[in-house]
């Protein structure tokens, strides 16, 4: 009979569990922490799905050539142009839209003047093509304008945007459908665009 107060003797087949070593605990903590950081980074940098995906192919001064997928609809491009408009009205900071300052030395603002072209073929956003277009290369100008899907222009307090082409002399070309034209001090139409569902990454 087992005496009172004595502890039972473990059987030969039963092993006593050892506590986790401090090194093992640290390694598990690092693994979990890394996973949380990676997930958090992906969440914060997830693409904004309320506008079509786009890239900035080239920038020459205040002129910016952007590219959207080939199957992007006019309605989606309109949402993108209205997002540029929203930025012009609210912050006038196009850095989070992946655009470098267009007037970096202007005391009145780093984006006092900007013209954004939208294409659905990345070839037309090549820096060399934009340079030739600005130089008036006759082999490029007409085709360049025909391939534009949309534009946004901001100059001082005046802004405009539309679907179609906008010439380098800043005139609307036949066949272009203007979407808006006014001042950034004018109130934006309510419920014009859906709320943002992501955060774009600034180049800064």
Length of the chain: 204
Query: Where does the chain have alpha helices with state H?
Result: 22-44, 74-90, 127-135, 141-146
17 pLDDT above the threshold of 90: no
Report the pLDDT averaged over residues 5-21: 58
For all residues of the chain together, what is the average pLDDT?
82
Per-residue pLDDT band at 191 (split at 50, 70, 90): low
Instruction: For residue 4, give both structure tokens.
Output: 């009172």
Per-residue pLDDT band at 119 (split at 50, 70, 90): very high
Strand partners, 172: 166
Least confident of 83-92, 120-129, 154-163, 185-194: 185-194
204 pLDDT above the threshold of 90: no
Per-residue pLDDT band at 16 (split at 50, 70, 90): low
Whole-structure pTM value:
0.72
Report the pLDDT averaged over residues 72-78: 96
43 pLDDT above the threshold of 50: no
The pLDDT tens digits for 123-171 are: 999 999 999 999 999 889 999 999 999 999 999 999 999 999 998 878 8
The residue extents of the domains of the chain are: 18-47, 55-183
Task: Say if residues 112 and 106 touch (Cβ distance below 8 Å).
Answer: yes
Question: What is the Cα 136 distance to its own chain's centre?
Answer: 30
Give which of 169, 170, 165 is closest to 154, Cα–Cα. Answer: 170
**Residue 46 CB: number of other CB atoms within 10 A?**
13
Per-residue model confidence (pLDDT) at position 202: 38
């Amino acid at each position: 009979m087992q005496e009172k107060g004595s502890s039972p003797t473990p059987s030969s087949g039963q092993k006593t569990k050892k506590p986790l070593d401090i090194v093992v605990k640290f390694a598990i903590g690092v693994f979990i922490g890394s996973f949380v950081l990676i997930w958090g980074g992906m969440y914060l940098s997830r693409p904004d799905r309320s506008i079509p995906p786009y890239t900035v192919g080239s920038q020459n001064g205040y002129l910016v050539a952007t590219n959207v997928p080939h199957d992007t609809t006019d309605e989606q491009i309109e949402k993108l142009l209205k997002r540029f408009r929203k930025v012009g009205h609210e912050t006038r900071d196009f850095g989070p839209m992946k655009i470098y300052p267009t007037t970096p030395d202007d005391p009145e603002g780093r984006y006092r003047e900007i013209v954004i072209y939208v294409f659905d073929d990345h070839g037309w956003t090549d820096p060399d093509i934009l340079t030739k277009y600005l130089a008036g290369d006759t082999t490029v100008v007409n085709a360049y304008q025909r391939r534009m899907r949309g534009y946004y222009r901001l100059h001082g307090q005046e802004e405009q945007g539309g679907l179609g082409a906008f010439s380098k002399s800043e005139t609307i070309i036949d066949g272009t459908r203007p979407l808006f034209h006014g001042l950034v001090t004018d109130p934006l139409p309510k419920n014009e665009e859906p709320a943002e569902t992501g955060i774009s990454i600034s180049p800064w």
